[in-house]
Amino acid sequence: NAGVTQTPKFQVLKTGQSMTLQCAQDMNHEYMSWYRQDPGMGLRLIHYSVGAGITDQGEVPNGYNVSRSTTEDFPLRLLSAAPSQTSVYFCASRNTGTGGSAFFGQGTRLTVV
Amino acid sequence: SQQGEEDPQALSIQEGENATMNCSYKTSINNLQWYRQNSGRGLVHLILIRSNEREKHSGRLRVTLDTSKKSSSLLITASRAADTASYFCATDASNFGNEKLTFGTGTRLTIIP
């Protein structure tokens, strides 16, 4: 049972480049989410999804797109990377309806130069 | 803005002492959760306390919740070097139509051997 798998673990982008951060879970969780973590700011919610075909914005959605075509996968797309998007990104999943705990991936450290 | 605010931001204690961290939040919740993050890793769930509970124990962890004050505390007893990590509270308002899990800014705990 792999839990939540994020790829890549590290990435360096040039300003203006695009990329997709991958996230997959094998626990059949309905809820999936993306957070970014910056020093002194804790985890801020970017986008989340409560099921396949359903996505919604979190606290800091600008510059990011998501889709949820399957229960297992929830990719995060950066359309035109900016230095302000340099951060550590975490994907998480959990059961909905019962208010359950979240399971996190190991994170993607992204640097935009 | 973030739902939870942890206090203190950083805490250093001697091994064997008890560590107490506090969390304040803003809106009604279904439950409150505490997570630990070791340096460079993803978050790991520690304990969940529901809104109708006042205290919960798990091993060396004790969590309290005061919904009237919108606050929670995490006590780690008999601290060990391995407890060195950042600790985050997270609020779940899923019974209020909000499935988002919202994190605070965290407390950095250092255990001095």
What is the reported pLDDT for A99?
Answer: 66
Region B36-58: what's the mean pLDDT? 94
pLDDT greater than 50 at residue B79: yes
HSE on the CB side for B107, CA within 13 Å?
27
Residue A33 has which token pair? 């989410």
Contact by Cβ (8 Å): A111, A12: yes
Q: CA of A15 to nearest chain B CA: how many angstroms apart?
A: 24
Q: CA of B52 to nearest chain A CA: how many angstroms apart?
A: 13
Chain B residues touching residue A100 (CB < 8 angstroms): 48
SS3 B99: strand
A98: closest chain B residue by CA: B94
> Judging by beta carbons within 10 Å of its beta carbon (0-12, 13-18, 19+), is residue B54 exposed, middle or buried?
exposed
What is the reported pLDDT for B58?
Answer: 95
Q: CA of B11 to nearest chain A CA: how many angstroms apart?
A: 14
Answer whether A104 sits within 8 Å of B88, measured CB to CB: no
Q: Render pLDDT for A5-58 as a digit per residue (tens, 0 to 9).
A: 999 999 999 999 999 999 999 999 999 999 999 987 789 999 999 999 999 999
A95: closest chain B residue by CA: B99
Region B46-62: what's the mean pLDDT? 96
Region B55-68: what's the mean pLDDT? 97
- DSSP category for residue A85: G
How many inter-chain contacts (A to B, CB under 8 Å) are there? 64
pLDDT greater than 70 at residue B3: no
pLDDT greater than 50 at residue A89: yes
Cβ of residue A35 closer than 8 Å to a chain B Cβ: yes
Chain-wide mean pLDDT for chain B?
91
Q: How confident is the model at residue B1 (pLDDT cuts 50, 70, 90)?
A: very low
Q: CA of A73 to nearest chain B CA: how many angstroms apart?
A: 18
Give the residue from B112, B94, B93, B91 showing the smallest Cα distance to B103.
Answer: B91
Chain B residues touching residue A41 (CB < 8 angstroms): 105
> What distance in Å separates the CA atoms of residue B52 and residue B55, rounded to the nearest whole number?
10
